[in-house]
Amino acid sequence: MTRFIDLPIRIKFFGLMSLLLLVLLVATGIFTYQRQESFILKFAVDNARSFASQLIETRDYMSSVVKGEPEHNYNLVPQVVATQVARRVTQNSKFYVRQVSLRYRNPENRPDQYETAQLKAFAQNPTREVYDIVESDDTRSFRYMQPMLATASCLECHGTYESAPNFVKQRFPPGHFSYNYQVGEVIGAVSVTIPMKDLYAQLGANLQFDMIARGLVFLIVILVMAILMSRQVIDPVKRVSERIIRVTRTGDFHEKLPQKTHDEIGSLIGAFNDLMEELARKTLQSKESDERYRRFIELSGSAVVTFLKDGKIVIANQKAETLFGRSRQSLLGESIFSFLENGSALQEKLGTGEDAKEESSRQRVRGAGGKTKEVEMVISASKTDREPMFTAILREDRAPSS
């Protein structure tokens, strides 16, 4: 299985960029969701407060201006008027608004469990408002309540039984818990309810649109970066890599890459072209030098052999063919030490590094048929990039020995 680090740069770069942008997309989605959730909650609180304030103001106004009319028209009772106004105001919205009281007269104003708890809390401490998200029967709802305090006009109907209008006395007998309120006492509260699914419906739509828009933006960013990265970095580097591979296979240094820019990648290509030009020049010089050397040793009157440290012959002239009784082609790759009677001693000496300067010695050479010839052998050493190289000049004596 291919390791991630061994994958092409293009795949690694775009894979990491895609992962990074995906993480950013998820992070921004979470942040956007939380921000919109906070905004929607604030929207719900503001609207609920507005509805409650309108209902309370309507009730207070009606109780202050209406006197004997409710006795002839029950629909002019302040509580009834406020309830009807709330229904009309919220009929086209998701908000459900009503008045509730622990000492209610209208059964529709009977509080539920949550409202009962809040009304009791208001009785102990009539705060300005309270809101929360409540779960009931697997349904989450936004709940808001604002207390209503009894005023002097409220006591006309909710004071003592004796001071209440006749139509109230006829409906609610003495001892009913809706009597005997005091000014400033919590007489009830405005309760506002809205299901969270209705609030979150718009949140989900907004989040979906936002995520799609952000996803498209991130996709465009990835595509643009992919095109720029491929054209400006990956493709030029790939051409340099392919060119280096061809050079190692063919040894051809003459092909150059087009330098289209002068940035870092352009400078790399320019340096590569300069390197190829320098290598081509040095290769040509090396070939010319080798050719001159071959011509020189061919014109030499003595046998000349060039060999490596292990004795392997790499160059031999025509005189060496005659001396060793072997063709030049068969000499290449053979060890020169195998043609010398004292070859082992010479090999050991060269291996100790005592070849720093030119040295002359007498050697006996075995030729074709086992015949030996005594020669004067002059060895000189030269250093190459890879390993030491030696050149031996073998001068035959005039009188051969057997």
Q: How big, in percent rounded to 5, are the helix, strand and coil portions of the chain?
A: 55, 20, 25
Least confident of 17-21, 112-116, 128-132: 17-21
> What is the CB-side half-sphere exposure of residue 254 using CA atoms within 13 A?
3
Q: Is residue 317 part of a domain?
A: yes
In SS3 terms, 52-66 reads as HHHHHHHHHHHHHHC
Q: End-to-end alpha-carbon separation of the chain, Å?
A: 69
Q: Same structural domain for residues 86 and 173?
A: yes
Chain center to CA of 133: 37
pLDDT for 402: 45
Specify the amino acid at residue 217.
V
Give the pLDDT score at 354: 56
Residues 317 and 168 grouped into a single domain? no
User: Comparing 5-9, 16-20, 124-128, 229-233, which segment has the lowest mean pLDDT?
Assistant: 5-9
**Residue where a domain stops, chosen among 175, 204, 233:** 204
- Are 167 and 68 in contact by the 8 Å Cβ rule? The answer is no
> Is residue 139 domain-shared with residue 106, that is, in the same domain?
yes
Q: What phi-psi label fits residue 140: left (phi over 0), alpha (psi between -120 and 50 degrees) or beta? A: beta
- The whole-number pLDDT of residue 384 equals 65
pTM metric for this prediction? 0.51
Q: Is residue 389 part of a domain?
A: yes
Asked if residue 117 has pLDDT above 90, the reply is yes
Residue 261 shares a structural domain with residue 332:
no
- Which of 71-75, 128-132, 347-351 is predicted least confidently? 71-75
User: 38 and 166: one domain?
Assistant: yes
Query: Which of 63-67, 123-127, 316-320 has maximum average pLDDT?
Result: 316-320
Domain count, the chain: 3
Residue 90 sits in the same domain as residue 159: yes
Is 18 strand, coil or helix?
helix
User: Domain range for residue 20?
Assistant: 4-204
Q: Residue 401's pLDDT is what?
A: 46
pLDDT band at 399 (very low <50, low <70, confident <90, very high): low
Strands in 93-222 per DSSP E: 96-100, 130-136, 139-149, 186-195
- CA angle, 97 as apex, 93 and 100 as ends, to 5°? 170
Give the CA dihedral 11, 16, 18, 24, nearest 10 degrees.
180
pLDDT tens for 2-47 read: 787 777 777 887 888 888 888 888 888 888 878 887 888 888 899 8
Does one domain contain both 281 and 310?
A: no
What does the alpha-carbon distance between residue 208 and residue 218 come to, in Å, rounded to a whole number?
15
262 and 307 within one domain: no
* Stretch among 52-56, 74-78, 166-170 having the lowest mean pLDDT: 74-78
258-300 pLDDT tens trace: 888 788 878 888 888 888 888 888 888 878 877 777 777 776 7
Same domain, 261 and 353: no
Is position 217 within any domain?
no
282 in the same domain as 392? no
Predicted confidence (pLDDT) at residue 120 exceeds the cutoff of 90: yes
In a domain, 87, yes or no: yes
- Final residue of a domain: which of 264, 288, 312? 288
Same domain, 263 and 312: no
pLDDT in tens, 192-201: 998 888 777 7
CATH number for 20: 3.30.450.20
Q: pLDDT tens digits for 303-349? A: 999 998 889 998 888 888 888 888 888 999 999 999 998 888 888 88
Q: What is the mean pLDDT of the chain?
A: 83
In a domain, 360, yes or no: yes
Token output for 282: 């040095």
Q: Which of 387, 36, 394, 4 is nearest to 211 (CA)?
A: 36
Same domain, 347 and 377: yes
Kindly state the DSSP code that residue 397 receives in the 8-state scheme. P
Q: Let me know if residue 179 belongs to a domain.
A: yes
Question: In the numeric block, which tokens belong to residue 270?
Answer: 């320019």
234 lies in some domain? no
